[in-house]
Structure 1
Amino acid sequence: MWSKIFPKRFALLKAFVLIFLSISFLVRLSLYIWDFKEVDQGIFNLLHTFLTGLLFDIGTVSFFTLPYLLYLLLFPTKWYGTIVDKVITVLGFFLGVLIIYFSFFAEFTFWDEFHRRFNFIAVDYLIYTYEVVQNINESYPLPILISSILALVALNIFLVHRLGYFRETYHNTTTLGQKLFAAIPWFLISVIFALYVNNEQAEWSENRYNNEISKAGIYSFFAAFRNNELSYTEFYKTIPEKVAFKKVKNALAGSSNNFVHPQTNGILRTIKNSDSATTEQKPNVIFICIESLSGSFLNSMGNDQNLTPNIDALANEGVFFTNFYATGTRTVRGMEAITLSIPPTPGRSIVKRKNNTGLFTIGEVFKEKGYDRNFFYGGDGYFDNMNTFFGGNGFNIIDRGRGFLLDKSIKTKRTNIEDNEVTFENAWGVCDTDIYNKVIKESDKAHGMGRPFFDFVMTTSNHKPYTYPEGKIDIPSGSGRDGAVKYTDYAIGEFFRIARTKPWFKNTVFVIMSDHCANSAGRGELDVKNHHIPALIYNLRNEQPKKVVTMSSQIDIFPTLFGLLGWDYDSNFFGMDVLKLKPEDGRAFIGTYRKLGLLKDEHVMVLGDQQTSNFYKWNPVDNNLKGLPMDNDFLENTISWYQVADYLYTHKGLEIKH
């Protein structure tokens, strides 16, 4: 029977399948050992993890076999073993094995950062090859890795040759009928996996680590390639539109809010913050979005390593939000939440999706108040579509400028960070000190012109490979995350030391927040702790330092700032002024590209893309989620926020209405 499944002409195909399955097993075993403390152990969980993985490996390798199977079927018997046959066979085998080893090595680097198999992030990285290759080159010994991969490929070819697989492939009389019989099972497996199997079927456990290890990395990559934009109405639970909008409007309604079109499917409203006791302020606003700054890094949030003395000092002198959460786990997700004040959308962030220009962002509020709006980024802002998003929504661009605005129709002012302004640069851009110096230089210019300015500053130093200028802190560059955090804090301190000497400082409010946490992996559906970030507003006029304990998330920070400044403005935002909420009314939106959650009073509702919903009690001490009986009212409230957000995006309800 074995000879019928793999006749002699299929000998090299058999070798390839065995190599693929063997290496995939070793990768899965390595990941299992790597996170042994996180996986659910026991013989049943072990077997389920590896047997599920084997099934997905067989499905994956079936797709690899298709080009070679077609060649084997179409190549005439009389030409077996000719020079043409040998060249095509050896070259194809070499490329196939090279792809296997390259992808599996890449999986380890991806797991090291995200503790996940390939997903839509890996797909996005294909587009931004410069930053990614540079990051890998600066983080890992790339020449050694490439040499190792080539050596392993050569070793495999040598062993396969010594075992006679090439000779058997060339010297045989396998007929077309025998080849068809052997090929049909592989075609059937490919069809079954293409039509009836999806990556989510590997998610059999409540433990996310077991699920991820059960998957096949290459299969996960192509699954993400097909599904990095998810239709909310197709994949998630819904309720009637009118019910959803009514619930959201009731939550957003207040004595200071008046809906512009109360009978329509929209949330546009006029917000009144001014009264007889409040004078509208128009200070400059510099918003600093810090890369990957988890709340757990700050002494003021429980850390004892003294990595962030400057940020801690600012937190103690400003309005400090201690119960504050990032909506997602990537920079573009944070940007979406901050600029649009919207819960996370499933799949890609709006920053990277179509129809993402001409939207009602926080920049529109600043524009109506007479502000110049600027987006600062230390790398090239074409990365993650940032320049198109910010430029297409009215911001001037200040970046490193190797590339271009992806959308040629966008007309915006772009300023380059010149070589003579750079003291240190890595794969992701200039160091934080350099970007802050550029902010100060541009602020001096704006102040000289007499116009208020709003700056959105995105930092890069707290990112792998964790390199920064030597001699600034007592931790060597490139030695790990702690050093990057400490340098990030050092750069903040230097920025404020210089800014305090400027004539515009007294009339400038600073908002500091993280884009997301340093880690995103967790055992449960959503890792709540790995969404907990710091946020603070500093240098407000006539505002005493305070700690805000009301639960909130990134969508709330600018509505809160606008309230503190006494601004009346039109709003299309889902965020609220946290200082006007009762503590028990606080809530936070958290999610991944597939899971959407609402956190309130240590209760979490999680919506999944298989129209699932799960209700949990979150324990902040051990970060565990304990399943609870479904609360239908909580469920409908959660659905309403996400359904309305998706509706407004897909029906152009987020666009600026003139």
Structure 2
Amino acid sequence: MSFKLFPSRFALLKAFIGLFLVLSFLVRLTFLIWNFSEVDMGFFALGNTFFIGFLFDIATISFFAIPYLIYLVIFPKRFYGNVVDKIITYFGFSIGVLILFFSFFGEITFWDEFERRFNFIAVDYLIYTYEVVKNINESYPLPILISGMIILVLGSILLVYKMDYFRRTFSSETTFRPKLVAAIPWVILVVICSIFLTNKQADFSENRYNNELAKSGIYSFFSAFRNNELPYSEFYKTIPQEEAYTTVKESYSDSNTTFVNSRENSIYRYMKNSDSLSNPVRPNVIFICIESLSGDFLKAFGNEDSITPTLDSLVNNSLFFENLYATGTRTVRGMEAITLSIPPTPGRSIVKRKNNQGLFTIGEVFKQQGYERNFFYGGDGYFDNMNTYFGGNGFNIIDRGRGFLLDKSITATRTNIEDDEVTFENAWGVCDMDIYNKVLKEADKAHNLGKPFFDFVMTTSNHKPYTYPEGDIDIPSGTGRNGAVKYTDYAIGEFIKKAKQKPWFENTVFVIMSDHCASSAGRWELDVKNYHIPALIFNLPNKAPEKINRLSSQIDVFPTLFSLLKWDYKSNLLGKNILEMTPKDERAFIGNYRKLGYLKDNKVLILDEQANANFYSWNPTTNSLKSIPSDQTFEDNGISFYQVADDLYRNGGLKLSDE
């Protein structure tokens, strides 16, 4: 008996595998054309991209094939082609084809947003279907896409039918043994892929686009589903724990810092910022965290489109940080960096993890100074676990709730943005002007009660579908990113105009900073320029406007503010006062959920989950990386901060202290 990988009973399986491989190739080719200028087009680079991609496609379809293979093997020969067989076969094939087209369409929309294959962000999107589906509906012609997908599914089924695959499957005379023998290679392939094949093995090139093209979207999705948390000590290059803590603690050795217990693996310390020349001040603080505002949108960084006139004006009337970098590529990563003042940890943001309540955040410092703490969000803070995180760390919640309740263990109050307070709303929430009007209203209440307040305001308008109220700016709503940026800037301007009319304005400091850039995609492991964000502190008492060019991070902004306000406080924050940084102190932390970057002196250390430590020189003009020999001291310093940050979360070192 000769061996056949696809005996006649497996005819439809052969058609399904062929359809998947063709569609996957077309999607890969589409992405190649889409980002043609970014892809390494060398013969071997391109050849490897498609060859590795084909191997991942085979691995992916082997998993898909197993359920149908089981059915084919166990279904008795005497019942081939009967009513039950036809119903199961037609239904199963139709569902399979629908899943293929749905996933490929999903990949295209995901690539449009992130220029990556599916990753853990796509896994998160499964949880928040309301916002995601609504966003897709507002960003794309969904009825046309769905109609087109259905037509393609029906067309594929008809083509397979016309090519006689169904008839050959139902009229087959294949017995049990040939079916079993033909199924064994697929089972072996699945076992091998499950044990030995990982998504990171597609990262063969220094060019990120080639690596992403080589992957299979569906395989990437399930890989992300299994690996959305990455304990640093298990996956990344490490140094002895004591050495890591010593290195980090030595970086905070100054006259203002006293560690509570210098021998423990802890960074808990007393910060002294008061002096005999000036007393502590306690103004209200309103922090505006702007969605997706890249540094290069501002005129100060060379933009000539005049889309940020308000921020451009504030640049010259504030403490403006010219050389500051976001730690990550998502809102929750920015929130983590800002509130915990901590370098990024691998995997998902701490905002979305378990054991993320009762932590030492910047809110705790405000609490020590007698402040009311509030978190404002124009959508439902259930999204991305924001309400649980902020509510569980002492903030009151003001959001556009749709009925999702806070965890019963959370004692924070929750205030809804009511319908009569909303003039415009899209998938992500109310427009920025509506959320600012709510901030003004709540600030009036707090002022009347005589209690200082700290407001963390998360905006939403600068996000696809880029829609906002018509008539406020000269760019029509929904036409693109520039319009969203200009509306975002306009809303800030109107907010500050209204705030200036309030009795509490003179005693209020405004901190404005982006959560992350509009895009982090690039050809390098980490594209440094795509982490550069604007940050400023406006209306500071007794502080003249100044432009600060020291290399710094999101995690440093609030420790800098606390120092300027002359506050003495207990701290578990890893950020530093930017104004007191020496060239030796300057550094920035950047990363995504897998890669962790340590930037200093135009050099970048990039750590990955394969325990690699790659060292580059960075050219800011061309935003390019060039491999250079490793610097052991530089490497150990970078590893120390990331190793300590992850250990603090996992050993409870970020928790509030009883001291």
Partner residue in 2 for 1:380: 380
Give SS of 1:605's match.
Answer: strand
Partners of 1:617 and 1:375 in 2: how far apart?
39
Matched to 2:186, the amino acid is W
1:27 aligns with 2:17: no
Partners of 1:159 and 1:148 in 2: how far apart?
16
8 Å CA contact 2:328–2:344 kept in 1: the answer is yes
Cα deviation per residue 1:161-187 (whole Å; 9 max; x = unaligned)? 111100000011111101011111111
Shift of 1:593: 0.4
Matched to 2:272, the amino acid is K
Partners of 2:375 and 2:274 in 1: how far apart?
28
Partner residue in 2 for 1:514: 514
Partner residue in 2 for 1:163: 163
8 Å CA contact 2:511–2:538 kept in 1: the answer is yes
Partners of 1:237 and 1:563 in 2: how far apart?
34
Partners of 2:547 and 2:630 in 1: how far apart?
33
1:479 aligns with 2:479: yes
Partners of 1:206 and 1:541 in 2: how far apart?
48
Shift of 1:3: 7.4
1:416 aligns with 2:386: no
Partner residue in 1 for 2:247: 247
Matched to 2:424, the amino acid is F
Matched to 1:541, the amino acid is P
User: After the TM superposition, which residues 328-343 of structure 1 pair with which residues of structure 2 at under 5 Å, given as runs?
Assistant: 328-343=328-343
Shift of 1:302: 1.3
Give SS of 2:316's match.
Answer: helix
Partner residue in 2 for 1:489: 489
Q: CA RMSD in A?
A: 0.9
Give SS of 2:494's match.
Answer: helix
Partners of 1:618 and 1:610 in 2: how far apart?
22
8 Å CA contact 2:251–2:585 kept in 1: the answer is no
Partner residue in 1 for 2:563: 563
Give SS of 1:585's match.
Answer: coil
8 Å CA contact 2:3–2:182 kept in 1: the answer is no
C-alpha change, 1:403 and 1:614, in structure 2 (3 Å) is farther
Partners of 2:276 and 2:410 in 1: how far apart?
42
Shift of 1:43: 1.5
Matched to 2:625, the amino acid is L
Cα deviation per residue 1:529-549 (whole Å; 9 max; x = unaligned)? 000000000001111000011
Shift of 1:583: 3.7
User: After the TM superposition, which residues 263-278 of structure 1 pair with which residues of structure 2 at under 5 Å, given as runs?
Assistant: 263-278=263-278
Structure 1, unmatched stretches of 5+, are none
Partner residue in 2 for 1:72: 72
Structure 2, unmatched stretches of 5+, are none
Partner residue in 1 for 2:280: 280
Matched to 1:373, the amino acid is R
Partner residue in 1 for 2:153: 153
User: After the TM superposition, which residues 78-89 of structure 1 pair with which residues of structure 2 at under 5 Å, given as runs?
Assistant: 78-89=78-89
Partner residue in 2 for 1:544: 544
User: After the TM superposition, which residues 31-430 of structure 1 pair with which residues of structure 2 at under 5 Å, given as runs?
Assistant: 31-405=31-405, 407-430=407-430
Partner residue in 1 for 2:595: 595
Partner residue in 1 for 2:613: 613
8 Å CA contact 2:3–2:178 kept in 1: the answer is no
Shift of 1:587: 0.7
Shift of 1:411: 1.7
Percent of aligned positions that are identical: 68
Cα deviation per residue 1:351-382 (whole Å; 9 max; x = unaligned)? 00110000000000101111000000000000
Partners of 1:153 and 1:632 in 2: how far apart?
56
Partner residue in 1 for 2:460: 460
8 Å CA contact 1:235–1:611 kept in 2: the answer is yes
Shift of 1:403: 3.6
8 Å CA contact 1:524–1:624 kept in 2: the answer is yes
Matched to 1:312, the amino acid is D
Give SS of 1:537's match.
Answer: strand
C-alpha change, 1:2 and 1:108, in structure 2 (3 Å) is farther
Cα deviation per residue 1:296-348 (whole Å; 9 max; x = unaligned)? 00001211111100011112101000000000000000000000000001000
8 Å CA contact 2:597–2:607 kept in 1: the answer is yes
8 Å CA contact 1:120–1:228 kept in 2: the answer is yes
Give SS of 1:338's match.
Answer: helix
Partners of 1:551 and 1:612 in 2: how far apart?
25
Partners of 1:616 and 1:312 in 2: how far apart?
33
8 Å CA contact 2:327–2:591 kept in 1: the answer is yes
Matched to 1:476, the amino acid is P
Partners of 1:301 and 1:47 in 2: how far apart?
39
Matched to 2:250, the amino acid is N
Cα deviation per residue 1:83-123 (whole Å; 9 max; x = unaligned)? 00000000000000000000001101000110100000000
User: After the TM superposition, which residues 517-528 of structure 1 pair with which residues of structure 2 at under 5 Å, given as runs?
Assistant: 517-528=517-528
Q: TM-score, normalised by structure 2?
A: 0.99
Matched to 2:103, the amino acid is S
Partners of 2:403 and 2:231 in 1: how far apart?
31
Partner residue in 2 for 1:623: 623
8 Å CA contact 1:550–1:584 kept in 2: the answer is no
Partners of 1:567 and 1:315 in 2: how far apart?
25
Shift of 1:2: 9.7
8 Å CA contact 1:584–1:601 kept in 2: the answer is no
Give SS of 2:285's match.
Answer: strand
1:646 aligns with 2:650: no
8 Å CA contact 1:549–1:583 kept in 2: the answer is no
Cα deviation per residue 1:467-525 (whole Å; 9 max; x = unaligned)? 00000000000000000000000000000110000000000000000000000101111
Matched to 1:29, the amino acid is L
Partner residue in 2 for 1:445: 445
Partner residue in 1 for 2:573: 573
Query: After the TM superposition, which segments of 4 or more aligned residues of structure 1 sit over 6 Å from their partners?
Result: none
Matched to 1:53, the amino acid is G
Give SS of 2:547's match.
Answer: strand
Shift of 1:585: 2.4
Give SS of 1:574's match.
Answer: coil
